[in-house]
Amino acid sequence: MKYTELLNKTLKIYKQKGSKEAYEFIEKNKNNIIGYRNEAQIYNFRYALAASSGLKAEALKLIKEAIVDKGYWYSYDYLKSDEDLECFKDNEDFINMINLCKEREQSARNESKPIMRIIDNKNEESKFVMALHGNQENIQMIKEQWEVVTELGYKLAMIQSSQVQVTDGYVWSDINKGFKELLAHYECLQKDKYDNLVVGGFSAGAGVIVEVIINQKIKADKIILVAPWFPNLDKIKENIYIIKAIKTKIYMIIGDEDDDCLECTREFKAMLDDNNIEHDFEFIKGLDHSYPDDFNKYLNRIL
């Protein structure tokens, strides 16, 4: 299974059967991941579930492995406030480790910058796909899902947020900051005088794209939104006329088991329907909050 599938299935088991079964599942399957994985996040799931299952010694061992042995860091505020870790609040080793995380977090935030990396397909045509990751993701995860576009005549511009939340995990929590970063990358691409631009993103990254679109700052030929998250539906509704005016076709892909984003995506689709805005909607059975396994097929059709 893929990394996101492991996390999503673990969460589903946790909601349905509790922390102990979820912990046993992730322990059994943590080494069976195909492709990219964020080990820091997997450790986070493991020690939190162990702690909530009453396995205090195992949980503390995993925390030490992650922070001391592996050098990972987690948000200081999260470690201090997470109910699963409440049992360690007076543990001297735990206190020392979260203070170490505080130092690493501050250093990482100070050094973090918005990044755009381009994979060039050596094609003479200047066609670009700009792709954004979701929350707690990174450029490697963009590359894994979107690199196929370079076989379809496009250059791939991978956009990583400057907002770092955990080791190798970047977010779009400040959507205005994300808006400004995406716009700066877009302006850089304009210097290349591209012939065609497709903008796509996953989850929170898709939300940032729509934010930029309704502010009339990007002109794209196509928009691809995968499991999109829209924290600002009221603002989108107020500005839906802008999306209609740009006449750019929107492609949406979401699963029927996406507990995170299905509801807001349906609301967004209803806005598009009510305003006769051209769009393509792929509703995939059995898919949770992740890319479909055959995402390459969808990109091939869209592009």
Q: pLDDT tens-digit profile of 105-135?
A: 999 999 999 999 999 877 767 899 999 999 9
Same domain, 12 and 44: yes
> How many beta carbons lie within 10 A of that of residue 107, not counting itself?
11
Same domain, 146 and 20: no
Between the CA atoms of 46, 51, 57 and 62, what dihedral angle is there, to the nearest 10 degrees? 20
Distance (Å, rounded) from C-alpha 46 to C-alpha 2? 17
The confidence band for 75, taking pLDDT boundaries of 50, 70 and 90, is very high
Same domain, 120 and 105: no
Half-sphere exposure for 142 (CA within 13 Å, toward CB) = 33
Same domain, 16 and 85: yes
Provide the CATH number for the domain around residue 252.
3.40.50.1820
Q: What is the structure's pLDDT at 131?
A: 98
Same domain, 197 and 221: yes
Same domain, 70 and 135: no
Q: What is the structure's pLDDT at 194?
A: 80
Q: Which of 64, 93, 111 is the last residue of a domain?
A: 111
Q: What is the structure's pLDDT at 120?
A: 86
Same domain, 254 and 133: yes
Distance (Å, rounded) from C-alpha 30 to C-alpha 294? 23
Q: Which of 81, 111, 141 is the last residue of a domain?
A: 111
Q: What is the structure's pLDDT at 215?
A: 87
Distance (Å, rounded) from C-alpha 232 to C-alpha 214? 11
Same domain, 168 and 264: yes
On the question of pLDDT at 195 being above 90, the answer is no
- Scan for tokens 């948000």, then name that residue: 75
Same domain, 288 and 168: yes
The confidence band for 219, taking pLDDT boundaries of 50, 70 and 90, is confident
Same domain, 177 and 232: yes
Distances (CA, A) of 205 to 72, 181, 224: 24, 12, 11
The confidence band for 76, taking pLDDT boundaries of 50, 70 and 90, is very high
Same domain, 72 and 140: no
**Mean pLDDT across the chain, nearest whole number?**
95
> Which residues sit opposite 158 in a β-bridge?
117, 131
Same domain, 106 and 119: no
Number of folded domains in the chain?
2
Q: Which of 52, 86, 111 is the last residue of a domain?
A: 111
Q: What residue numbers bound the domain in which 45 lies?
A: 3-111
Q: For CA atoms 37, 130, 178, 209, give the dihedral sign.
A: negative
The confidence band for 193, taking pLDDT boundaries of 50, 70 and 90, is confident
Distance (Å, rounded) from C-alpha 62 to C-alpha 89? 16
The confidence band for 299, taking pLDDT boundaries of 50, 70 and 90, is very high
